[in-house]
Amino acid sequence: MAIAATGGCSNSGGSAPSSSTSTSAVSSTPSSMPTSASPSTSTSTDPLAKNKAAAIAAVIAFWKKVDQLDALPKGDLTSLDLVARGQVLAQYQYNIGAARQRGETAKGSTMVESPSATSAVDPLTYKVAACVDVSEVTPYKNGKPRSVPPGTSRSGWAYGVTQDPKTLKWYVTTQRQTGTC
């Protein structure tokens, strides 16, 4: 299951090698957004505000899709290509598939808390920093709930998000754990 992402804390299956993460968006500020929610679009004077919001929305959509696939033992792993590309796509397809073979699934929503986006050198690439909280995700092994080690439900992550120049859709392309949050 994707409770493990690409970083430090190990959980079961679907995500990148050892690290905690699931699917839903929240913030460490009073305003939190579940993965199903999209970031608010304000009438900011920042000309990049629309792209920043789109990059953040891509990270939220990524975790929503991972949560969906973690909960569906027969879900089509190729559907991850709707939200991810490159290393992240390959890693999560592998991890979720391997978790399924071990009888591991997960149910719940990963929360993406306090997301912030900054532009990179390439105008089609943004960096998104966020705290990912999987405390509302329950891992299962062969249909039975499993316990999660204390202190592994929240971790900081940095994502590379790229816009496809043909479709103008945004995809998560890189991910690395940045510590705790």
pLDDT digits (tens, 9 = 90+) for 134-154: 999 999 999 999 988 887 899
Output the pLDDT for position 177. Answer: 97
Output the pLDDT for position 41. Answer: 47
Q: Return the residue matching tokens 């949560």.
A: 67
* Chain mean pLDDT for the chain: 81
Output the pLDDT for position 44. Answer: 59
Output the pLDDT for position 111. Answer: 97
Query: Taking the model in full, what pTM does it have?
Result: 0.78
Which candidate, 90, 106, 95, 105, places its Cα nearest to that of 24?
106
Neighbour-count burial of 142, counting CB atoms closer than 10 A to its CB (0-12 exposed, 13-18 middle, 19+ buried): exposed
Which candidate, 130, 105, 134, places its Cα nearest to that of 9?
134
State which residues of the chain have pLDDT below 50: 3-42
Where helices occur in 19-132 by DSSP H, the ranges are 49-71, 86-101
